[in-house]
């Protein structure tokens, strides 16, 4: 971008950029097994309905979805960009990768883009 042969003033070396959708996901077993706790950090996305489109799609995996939340967050992605919202919910262990597939539908991502793992955030890098 700022290499030899460019025909513009150098761009500043900052983490500022025009917004683009970023998602990070992780799971963890809450106190009430046999449920997984899903947490999904989100930037530059709004369904205009307090994230309910996520909840409604994921609920297709199991009507046993509990402890839904969608709220402001303090989270930075690996590139330093801040997330605006976090979605969280519990799902039975038996649902497999269904919640990830349903979230891909909501966010308009390719199949296999979202992977929620226990122990650590997995960021989506496919747009």
SS3 of the chain: CCCCCCCCCCCCCCCCCCCCCEEEEEEECCCCCCEEEEEEEEECCCCCCCCHHHHHHHCCCCCCCEEEEEEECCCECCCCCECCEEEEEEEEHHHCCHHHHHHHHHHCCCCCCCCCEECCCEECCCC
Q: Is the pLDDT of residue 68 over 50?
A: yes
- Integer Cα distance of 122 and 25 in angstroms: 5
- Integer Cα distance of 87 and 116 in angstroms: 13
Kindly report, residue by residue over 75-117, the tens digit of the pLDDT: 999 989 999 999 999 999 888 899 999 999 999 998 999 999 8
Q: Is the pLDDT of residue 127 over 60?
A: no
Which has the closest alpha carbon to 21: 84, 74, 91, 97? 84
CATH T-level assignment (fold) for domain 22-123:
Alpha-Beta Plaits (3.30.70)
pTM, whole model, 2 decimals?
A: 0.80
53 vs 93, residue with greater confidence: 53
Distance between start and end Cα atoms, the chain: 21
Q: Is the pLDDT of residue 29 over 90?
A: no
- Integer Cα distance of 48 and 42 in angstroms: 14
Q: Is the pLDDT of residue 61 over 90?
A: yes
Confidence (pLDDT) at 2: 45
Q: Is the pLDDT of residue 11 over 70?
A: no
Percent of the chain with pLDDT strictly greater than 90 = 60
């Amino acid at each position: 971008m700022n290499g030899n042969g460019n025909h513009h003033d150098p761009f500043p070396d900052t983490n500022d950029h025009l917004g683009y959708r970023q998602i990070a996901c992780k799971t963890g077993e809450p106190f009430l097994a046999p449920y997984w706790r899903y947490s999904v950090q989100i930037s530059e996305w709004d369904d205009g309905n307090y994230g309910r489109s996520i909840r409604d799609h994921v609920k297709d995996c199991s009507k046993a979805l509990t402890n839904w939340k969608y709220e402001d967050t303090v989270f930075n992605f690996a590139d330093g960009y801040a997330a605006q919202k976090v979605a969280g919910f519990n799902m039975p262990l038996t649902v497999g990768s269904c919640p990830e597939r349903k979230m891909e539908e909501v966010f308009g991502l390719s199949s296999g883009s979202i992977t929620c793992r226990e122990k650590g955030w997995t960021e989506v890098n496919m747009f």
